Chain A
Amino acid sequence: MPAGARLLYEAAILATGEPPLFPHRHLLGIEGLSRGDIETVLDLAEDYVALNRRADKRGNALAGLTQINMFFEASTRTQASFELAGKRLGADVMNMTVAASSVKKGETLIDTAMTLNAMRPDLLVVRHPASGAVNLLASKVECAVLNAGDGRHEHPTQALLDALTIRRRKGRLSRLTVAICGDIAHSRVARSNMILLGRMENRVRVIAPPTLLPAGIERMGVEVFQDLRAGLDGADVVMMLRLQRERMDGALVPSMREYYHRFGLDAEKLALAKPDAIVMHPGPMNRGVEIDGTLADDINVSVIQEQVEMGVAVRMAAMDLLARNLRARAA
């Protein structure tokens, strides 16, 4: 057990007589989480799904706490999701959008972190375009830090919300065949999902042209396919990734139409997966590039809207668990 986690254990046992539910100071990635940790987050998130479906959605797990959302990269969906999650649990939420390009990148990162730290926030939600930037920031502040996506590294709450969606639809989160298709190389969502799904003992397939696969993929515990049809064969879950526009048009794939022809998901290709397969997408979608628009809207197979709903619940759960540790430490 890392030293930080041991301290949390000791503090929690001193305060409550019980070990902490979630022995981590921050949520920086899926990498550091055990199977049990993942299940803890998902179990608590189930409660919050129920809460969020009530007319009165107010919880008080974060009452009195200050949450700062610091986004060095534009994001509407994730930022809104974290904001709503914090507000529903009673936190005082502040949003900061820092244009990373306007100042010399990163130079302000530690300064900003130190400044914010001095204002004594309790939860810091950070998105940054550089891999590892959130880890760096977490090492400089005393509050709990949640990674809302760093470069091509990790996006843990996205993987957790995907896991919750799968678990609710499939009734389990193991022994499933999950096909992840698209720009694996540049996707933090793919990175976090590969780790999480692998840790929960699923068969993970990645499907992409070789230019969109990261180096060393063959040693990451996944099966690699370069043919969408072969990769979809017998899949329980199909996860489509967004293809950034700058990667199309000759840079990494020859054209949008060739990509859609070979790697775009439509009803005909999906028929190769299991009959009850679900289709996921972290959003925002490029209709007609990686996924057929009609298919994305087909409520019989597409769980894309449900993913968004689960996102709020998972983020409530994650912040709640980290806040419990904060309270145990303060006690």
Chain B
Amino acid sequence: MTVLVNVRLIDPERDRVVAGGLVISGGVIAEVFEGPRPGGVDCGGMALAPGIVDLGVKVGEPGERHTESFRSAGAAAAAGGVTTIVTRPDTLPAIDEPERLEFILRRAVEATPVNVLPMAALTRGREGREMTEIGFLMDAGAVAFTDAAAVANPRVFQRCLTYAAGLGALIVGHPQDPVLSAGACMTSGQFASQLGLPAVSPMAERIGLERDLALVEATGARYHADQISTARSLPALARARAAGLRVTAGASIHHLTLNEFDVGDYRTFFKLTPPLRSEDDRAAMVQAVADGLIDVIGSFHTPQDEEEKRLPFEEAASGAVGLETLLPAAMQLHHAGLSLPLLWRALSLNPARLLGLAAGRLAPGAPADLVLFDPDAPFVLDRATLRSKSKNTPYDLRRMQGRVLRTWVGGREVYAREAR
């Protein structure tokens, strides 16, 4: 039994922050109390919140272990206050068979201190032609199905949605018109034109989303849009929600904290998919998080080795690591006005609910997946210090605020920041 006292409890479920503490016993939260209590571990008035549930993490196993292994991803997650990683199936080969999914679960148990829940591919080889064995994969432990890219053929996607709806499976879509966005590495506009880079209109995302939503309406499937990044998509999302469709949406922390100008002089660590958007889009996305229209914030952790980023912008690989920087970057939103409970709904409670997990709550009986952090501690990020094997973070040398101090998974401490 562990008793944590003198903490600020960040409770996303009841939308409040209170001074108090909690008791961990048998891997779960046994009691949550307000006010002081003698004895226990004094946490110095720091913030205690449910651990982050990061939906859409790429680990380089199988196939690209040099970019990220389960061991390195697990260490990065623990240090970032992420207690559950929900992995993407866009590995080499793709996670499109139950045997491969079992490999992931086996590796996760032996190598990571945090919870790992795998998503499986929606179509074989993520080629968008034939659906995977959704039933078998669910039996094996797949929590959701995604190709981590748009399924280009609407007929294939419709059949997948129809079949998945019958099983109650969650489909994670990547809303993007694949033809319009082919070859693009920036958002179209003045800045991309000045840099002379191929660019895509934000409308490509909206077209992709509208198509997906129409198919969801037709099939009744459960659908989560992995990343919404532009204001143009939001009205469609709101309409679907109002019409009662079972639709949720996520946003990557990068699109909430960075904009297209961060690319600057062709800096490839800022090359993401979808590309970084205008400042107007970024601000609209933050507002959508505040309004609850965006349910989930994730890191969309995408490790890439150094060589793949040391190329001309058009040719460089896309994506950024984010497990360790998700919380400090989210603190930027907090310091800009979003409350901690609100942020934790998007970081923890909502993704947990979406996947049917008991995590994400500070309540008796909930798993003791917790993060203790200092929302104000300032630091300058040095990418060399990241635990991920790949160091492709857009936040390198950025002044950040918010440090993870300790992380528990199932009541076991998996990370403690060394005092300096």
Residues of A whose CB lies within 8 Å of any CB of B are 31, 105-107, 109-110, 128, 130-133, 135-136, 150-154, 185, 188, 191, 214-217, 219-220
A188-B196, A191-B196 are known contacts. Are A215 and B312 too (CB-CB below 8 A)?
no
Our pick among B188, B307, B311 for the contact of A215 (Cβ within 8 Å) is: B188
Across the interface, do B312 and A216 meet the contact criterion of CB distance under 8 Å? Answer: no
Task: Say whether B153 faces chain A, with CB atoms less than 8 Å apart.
Answer: no
Report chain A residues within 8 Å CB of B235. Answer: none
Across the interface, do B195 and A131 meet the contact criterion of CB distance under 8 Å? Answer: yes
Report chain A residues within 8 Å CB of B314. Answer: 130-132, 151
Our pick among B191, B307, B313 for the contact of A131 (Cβ within 8 Å) is: B313
Q: List 8 A-B contacts (CB under 8 A).
A: A110-B310, A130-B313, A132-B195, A132-B265, A136-B312, A215-B188, A215-B193, A219-B190
Residues of B whose CB lies within 8 Å of any CB of A are 188-197, 199, 201, 265-266, 307, 310-316
Task: Give the distance in Å from the alpha carbon of A214 to the alpha carbon of B192 in the complex.
Answer: 9
A135-B266, A136-B266, A152-B196 are known contacts. Are A220 and B190 too (CB-CB below 8 A)?
yes
Across the interface, do A191 and B194 meet the contact criterion of CB distance under 8 Å? Answer: yes
Report chain B residues within 8 Å CB of A214. Answer: 193
Across the interface, do B312 and A106 meet the contact criterion of CB distance under 8 Å? Answer: yes
Across the interface, do B266 and A131 meet the contact criterion of CB distance under 8 Å? Answer: yes
Main secondary structure of the interface of B (DSSP, over half): loop
Across the interface, do B196 and A216 meet the contact criterion of CB distance under 8 Å? Answer: no
Report chain B residues within 8 Å CB of A220. Answer: 190, 193-194
Our pick among A107, A150, A219 for the contact of B196 (Cβ within 8 Å) is: A150
7 other contacts beyond A151-B312, A217-B190, A220-B190, with CB at 8 A cut-off? A106-B312, A131-B314, A132-B314, A151-B197, A191-B196, A215-B190, A219-B190
Across the interface, do B189 and A215 meet the contact criterion of CB distance under 8 Å? Answer: yes
Task: Give the distance in Å from the alpha carbon of A105 to the alpha carbon of B190 in the complex.
Answer: 27
Task: Give the distance in Å from the alpha carbon of A164 to the alpha carbon of B333 in the complex.
Answer: 51
Our pick among B193, B266, B310 for the contact of A217 (Cβ within 8 Å) is: B193
Give the distance to chain A from B183, nearest Cβ to Cβ, in Å: 12
Report chain A residues within 8 Å CB of B199. Answer: 215
Report chain A residues within 8 Å CB of B195. Answer: 131-132, 153
Task: Give the distance in Å from the alpha carbon of A110 to the alpha carbon of B310 in the complex.
Answer: 8
Task: Give the distance in Å from the alpha carbon of A309 to the alpha carbon of B132 in the complex.
Answer: 64
Report chain B residues within 8 Å CB of A133. Answer: 312
Report chain B residues within 8 Å CB of A132. Answer: 195-197, 265-266, 312-314
Report chain B residues within 8 Å CB of A219. Answer: 190
Give the distance to chain B from A117, nearest Cβ to Cβ, in Å: 15
Task: Give the distance in Å from the alpha carbon of A219 to the alpha carbon of B192 in the complex.
Answer: 12
Which of B188, B189, B266, B310 has most A Cβ within 10 Å?
A: B266
Report chain A residues within 8 Å CB of B266. Answer: 131-132, 135-136
Report chain B residues within 8 Å CB of A109. Answer: 311-312
Task: Give the distance in Å from the alpha carbon of A200 to the alpha carbon of B69 in the complex.
Answer: 55
Report chain B residues within 8 Å CB of A153. Answer: 195-197
Task: Give the distance in Å from the alpha carbon of A66 to the alpha carbon of B199 in the complex.
Answer: 38
Report chain A residues within 8 Å CB of B194. Answer: 31, 191, 216, 220
Give the distance to chain B from A149, nearest Cβ to Cβ, in Å: 10
